[in-house]
Structure 1
Amino acid sequence: MDLDFTDEQRDFAAAVADFCKREQWVTHPHDQTVYEKMAALGWLGVTESCLVDTCLFLEQTAYGMAPIGGFATSAIVAGAVRRFGSEQQQATVCGGLADGRTFSIAMSEPEAGSDVAALACRATPGADGTWVINGQKTWCSNAHFADAILLVARTSGSPGDHDGLTMLLVPTGTPGLRISGIDTMGGREVNDLYFTDCVVPADAVVGAIGQGWRQLMAGLNLERLILAALMLGTAQRAFDDALAYIRERKQFGRPIGTFQVQRHRIADLATEIECCRLLVYRVAALADREPGRVLARESSMAKLKTTEVAKEVALAGMQMMGGYGYATEYDMERHVRATLVSTIYGGTSEIQRDIIGKTYGL
């Protein structure tokens, strides 16, 4: 398969990289001003075109450490709405993303993480076709600044059933919804959501009632490739930061990068990153070629391999930099935090391995 990028794609990636080099920003998960600048350039609508373009954008912004943390969840929500939403929902979400609005998705619960079928947060029919939501969601990224949340709630059946789940679009200002930040290593990037008699209209349903599980499965290519491309950019940045350090840092009278142990470590990490890059863009190209095909094995491989390699690169970078790798004066400690959690969210590495194994009939 020919994975050569077009001239337009190369120019696009170069433009994003140049933007990240020229702009000055304080390290923060999400800066709405920077986000809106990218929207004005037409870049936030890249998910409407093709997945290869999306991965190029994500790799370059992650490498440039652009503070647009809300983009990934917004793109995942937009993908679901584009496939299953009404014209009005598509205008609100897909058009809103292109204009610089942010969205979040809520699936995990205190007793349901990897086991999505165990979801218990329930939406029941109310008056005049409305839905009344009660329950709790947790680990909800970016909900504290999102315009709306794509909620996966149970509308029928019991926890343990894949059937009976429904997607609902809930504006964050809806009465009965309380958003509470969770303190983590990266600050307050994730949230608990508490729904208490939270009422949404009938047209809040995205797609078909009771078909939320199947709709989620249809979006696996996009979600896993988004996470893989982000960590590809982060891995490359961590690698380049470590390489620059060991070229300059001297011990025993010479740069530490000239010692064989460091040369071999760099060689191994560079090879692993290149393997990830080929895998990510191969899967993106396959998904673009066959948009309706769910690449469960391939997308899981991309997410698994890239997040694990990114974690390996960041931890190796910290080790190579010694105490400076742990200091906030340098970016390496941030790379470590970002990559450690990447093997957990969006489906843990263990779950990805299980999925891949099942595709071989095991």
Structure 2
Amino acid sequence: MHARTPEQASFAAAIDAFCRDKTGTRAQRDALTHNGTEAHNPALYVQMAELGWLGVGLPLKYGGSGGGMMDICLFAERIAYGLAPVGGYVTTAVAAGPYLKFGTEAQREKVLGGITRGRVEAISISEPGAGSDAAAITCRAVRTQGGFVINGQKTWCSNAHLADHLLLVARTNTSGSRHEGLTMFCVPSNTPGVEIRGIPTMAGKDVNDVFFTDCFVPESSIVGAVDQAWPQLMAGLNSERLILAATMLGRGRRAFDDAVAYVKERKQFGKPVGSFQAIKHRIADLAMELDCCELLVYRVAAMADEAPERMLPREASMAKLKTSETAKRVALEGMQMMGGYGYATEYDMESHLRATVISTVYGGTSEIQRDIIGKTFGL
């Protein structure tokens, strides 16, 4: 846990205490998640809202506390470590950025104000034919009297089934390059013509297909400028990658601590398995890698706070890549060190593995992060 100020240290301690009280046991977490099939508990989330935590990175005028990326990352890390089932936070925190930077005052009051009260938001970008290649978007928004009519399909939309609004990226112009002619819209999830269907995954209810059929949205739904969604997206991807990195730092640390606790207690050949050199060296390597991740994540967060308008493609991609790959490694190593018990649902390690493996795919795959980093060196 990285805290630069006494206030941040107190904030982190308060989150840890909350999680110990509310989600500290497997029985508590099972009760909150329908035995692990739900990633988000609305009632618990509202409790966090009432404590003022969900607006940690939002301005005071919208009910937030005026914090920065350091505070957002700290919150994301600690709730992930505490295994708090509030999976809606990450997409909500990521969606807040475009509204804050490009939204109208009415959109900010509605969406950002709702976030501080415990409402969930989602982003709808990916399509069946547009994943890593986001510029291949084909979902169309055609101008009509008073607004736009949207038709098309989105997929892998995290938390759409929980969200008040979808921050939709659709194609409004086909005359320019693939990166031109895209526009952001704020679409209430209950708008006629919007259909949300869950995609079954090993993580339970998490991601969705979203179908738009003659879905009308008024002109006031535009977020930012028409045909300018691509540069708007680029301005926010660094924050997304950093929030995801902080989340995986917390989950990786929890997997590590769970593994250490197990190898201290589990005995074979008359002594704790953690006393064998093979295990000790594994633990040493993982501890070192996690500390490297922590330093990287909070270094980039500090850079973002020092210059909020600065683009940090190399640094943010490094943080996301290093932390998600390390968290996955920690969970895999933890499962190996725990043997069959690491595979059993009696313990949390199998859950850590499911959560960390997918982190190297969403928010930009590890391969895409490496490509971005390479491009920053002129390659």
Shorter-normalised TM range? over 0.9
Which residue in the other structure is 2:14 paired with?
15
* Secondary structure of 2:49's aligned partner: helix
Alignment of 1:45-64 (within 5 A): 45-48=55-58, 49-64=67-82
Q: 2:88 aligns with which of 58, 64, 70?
A: 70
In the alignment, the residues of structure 1 paired with residue 176 and residue 87 of structure 2 have an alpha-carbon distance, to the nearest angstrom, of 31
Alignment of 1:277-296 (within 5 A): 277-296=294-313
Q: 1:39 aligns with which of 49, 66, 77?
A: 49
In the alignment, the residues of structure 2 paired with residue 174 and residue 21 of structure 1 have an alpha-carbon distance, to the nearest angstrom, of 39
Alignment of 1:191-270 (within 5 A): 191-270=208-287
CA RMSD of aligned residues (A): 1.1
Q: CA deviation at 1:177?
A: 0.6
Q: CA deviation at 1:130?
A: 1.3
Give the AA of the match of 2:309. G
Where do 5+ consecutive residues of structure 1 fail to align? Answer: none
Which residue in the other structure is 2:334 paired with?
317
Q: 1:156 aligns with which of 159, 170, 173?
A: 173
Q: What CA deviation, in whole Å up to 9, does each residue of 1:197-235 have, x standing for no partner?
A: 001111000000000000001112210111000000000
Q: What CA deviation, in whole Å up to 9, does each residue of 1:132-175 have, x standing for no partner?
A: 00000000000011111000100002696101110001111001
Where do 5+ consecutive residues of structure 2 fail to align? Answer: 34-38, 59-66
Give the AA of the match of 2:7. E
Which residue in the other structure is 2:160 paired with?
143
* Secondary structure of 2:197's aligned partner: strand
Residue 353 of structure 1 pairs with residue 370 of structure 2: yes
Length-normalised TM-score, structure 1: 0.98
Quickly say closer, same or farther: Cα 1:211–1:13, change in 2 above 3 A.
same
Residue 80 of structure 1 pairs with residue 103 of structure 2: no
Q: 2:131 aligns with which of 113, 127, 137?
A: 113
* Secondary structure of 2:310's aligned partner: coil
In the alignment, the residues of structure 1 paired with residue 232 and residue 81 of structure 2 have an alpha-carbon distance, to the nearest angstrom, of 31
**Structure 1 stretches of 4+ moved >2 Å:** 24-28
In the alignment, the residues of structure 2 paired with residue 159 and residue 210 of structure 1 have an alpha-carbon distance, to the nearest angstrom, of 10
Q: What CA deviation, in whole Å up to 9, does each residue of 1:82-122 have, x standing for no partner?
A: 00000010011111111100011000000010111100001
Q: What CA deviation, in whole Å up to 9, does each residue of 1:33-53 have, x standing for no partner?
A: 110000000000012220000
> Contact conserved, 1:221 with 1:287, CA < 8 A, in 2?
no
* Secondary structure of 1:234's aligned partner: helix
> Contact conserved, 1:120 with 1:159, CA < 8 A, in 2?
no
> Contact conserved, 2:199 with 2:207, CA < 8 A, in 1?
yes
> Contact conserved, 2:3 with 2:9, CA < 8 A, in 1?
no
Q: What CA deviation, in whole Å up to 9, does each residue of 1:174-204 have, x standing for no partner?
A: 0101000001110121000010000111100
Quickly say closer, same or farther: Cα 1:258–1:183, change in 2 above 3 A.
same
> Contact conserved, 1:148 with 1:171, CA < 8 A, in 2?
yes
Q: What CA deviation, in whole Å up to 9, does each residue of 1:332-359 have, x standing for no partner?
A: 0000000000000000000000000000
Quickly say closer, same or farther: Cα 1:75–1:4, change in 2 above 3 A.
closer
> Contact conserved, 1:153 with 1:165, CA < 8 A, in 2?
yes
Q: CA deviation at 1:26?
A: 2.6
* Secondary structure of 1:23's aligned partner: helix
Percent identical residues: 62
* Secondary structure of 2:216's aligned partner: strand
Length-normalised TM-score, structure 2: 0.93
> Contact conserved, 1:117 with 1:160, CA < 8 A, in 2?
no
Q: 1:26 aligns with which of 29, 47, 55?
A: 29
Q: What CA deviation, in whole Å up to 9, does each residue of 1:227-246 have, x standing for no partner?
A: 00000000000000000000
Q: CA deviation at 1:287?
A: 0.3
